[in-house]
Amino acid sequence: MPNLPREVLLDYCRRMLVIRLFEEALIGLHHEGRFKGHYHVYIGQEATGVAALGCVENGDHLFTTHRNHGHLLARGADPARLLAEILGRRDGYNKGKGGTFHTSSADLGFLHTSAVVAGIIPLATGAAYSAKVQKNGRIAVCLFGDGALEEAAAAESFNLASLSKLPVLYLCENNGKYGHGRATGAAQSSTMAAFPLTDLPKAYRIPAEQVDGTDTGAVHALVAEAVRRIRRGEGPQFIEAQTMRWPGNEASWPMVPAPTEIALAWEVGTVPEAAREWYRHSDPVLILIRELVESKRATRQEIDDVHQNVRAQIAAAVKFAFESPYPDPQEALKDVFAGR
């Protein structure tokens, strides 16, 4: 059970439910044909984003990827403005110009979000360099997928960060860990010759640890310690958070096998047979809920109340986002860097 105050755990649980219900709503809207285009959801990785980003401070520089919705929401993004951005509407975080792949918010610490795999790793390293030169006490946190390690940009960044002892946390979300019954440890979702993935940063003398990315308490403890080391001037740290693939992501367009209900923490009979194993053993939201109730830190009623509030918040976000107008075409070249 996470060694954290009850209020923190309940807040983490709420944030994780915001992410889960936001993503489920998004998938539903897409299936109804209410918006077009590709998008990636953070379902199954909520414990990593929420617990890790609970360890940073305002002013730290955060960088994320194509799978960014959960990271922004973990840091307190308004679901209504985030959805408006994904729909390309005027009230979105970037006035509808960033979309699902590039939503950023400097106020929340996210200086840049890029769907270019590994594109943010050099940028986060540069932000860490700037913080070191300016001695402003800030750190950079770079959240990326296991696939990003295949890119040369990752290796170059690790080298520079290690040589210059830069204040940066590289948080690799390996969402391809093999499930029960398969050859654990045989391969990752990415095609890396290095195994385990932590061998790569270790070759550059960057301390690297693995953690169960579905375990809120374990992620929090490890990230908090890494952040302490970085702030003490010990240089870059690397964490690989491992999660199982969410069954809804098996197809190229995500499907929701079963909408998340609190009751699923105890009984998964309503979930299609093929997906039950994930809901029983690998769903970070249900794992935390089970832990909270079984350790008597929260009652089922309290969790149900949080769930209902989040459900209402997401319904209001959907209404807000669809009511937000598309930007005026004359605004297209405003706030963009592209020159003529």
- Would you tell me which residues interact with ligand TPP (CB under 6 A)? 40, 66-67, 115-117, 145-148, 175, 189-190
Q: 139-165 burial by CB neighbour count: b if 16+ within 10 A, else e?
A: bbbbbbbbbbbbbebbbebbebbbebe
Q: Can you tell me which of 145, 248, 254, 284 binds Mg ion, judged by CB under 5 A?
A: 145
- Indicate the residue among 60 and 150 with the shorter CB distance to Mg ion: 150
Tell me which of ligand TPP, Mg ion, none is bound by residue 117, counting a contact when its beta carbon lies within the kind-specific cut-off of 5 to 8 angstroms.
ligand TPP
Q: Whole-angstrom Cα distance, residue 67 to residue 101? A: 8
Nearer to ligand TPP, 117 or 200 (CB): 117
Q: Please give the Cα distance from 74 to 308 (Å, whole number).
A: 18
Size of the chain in residues: 340
DSSP per residue, 90-112: TTSTTTTSSHHHH--BGGGTEEE
- Residue (25 or 148) nearer to ligand TPP, CB: 148
Closer CB to Mg ion, 109 or 145, in the complex: 145
Q: Is 72 exposed, middle or buried (0-12, 13-18, 19+ CB in 10 A)?
A: buried
Residue nearest ligand TPP (C-beta atom): 145
Angle (nearest 5°) at CA 45 between 303 and 74: 65
Partners of 172 in beta bridges:
144, 240
The rounded radius of gyration (Å) of the Cα atoms in the chain is: 20
Contacted by 236, from Mg ion, ligand TPP, none: CB < 5 to 8 Å by type? none
Which one of the spans 143-151, 257-265, 282-290, 317-325 is the region binding Mg ion (CB under 5 A)? 143-151
Q: Rounded to the nearest whole angstrom, what is the least distance from the CB of residue 147 to ligand TPP in the complex?
A: 3
Cβ proximity to Mg ion: between 88 and 284 the closer is 284
- Least Å distance, CB 176 to Mg ion, is 5
d(CA 217, CA 9): 9
CB 117 to ligand TPP: min, Å: 4
Name the residue number minimizing CB distance to Mg ion.
145
Bridge partners of 211, per DSSP, are 241
Q: Which does 177 bind (CB under 5 to 8 A by kind): ligand TPP, Mg ion, none?
A: none
Number of residues that bind Mg ion (CB under 5 A): 4
* Distance from C-alpha of 48 to C-alpha of 46, rounded to nearest angstrom: 5
Q: Shortest gap between Cβ of 101 and ligand TPP (angstroms)?
A: 8
> Among ligand TPP, Mg ion, none, what does residue 220 contact (CB within 5–8 Å per kind)?
none
Give the interface with Mg ion as residue ranges (CB under 5 A).
145-146, 175, 189
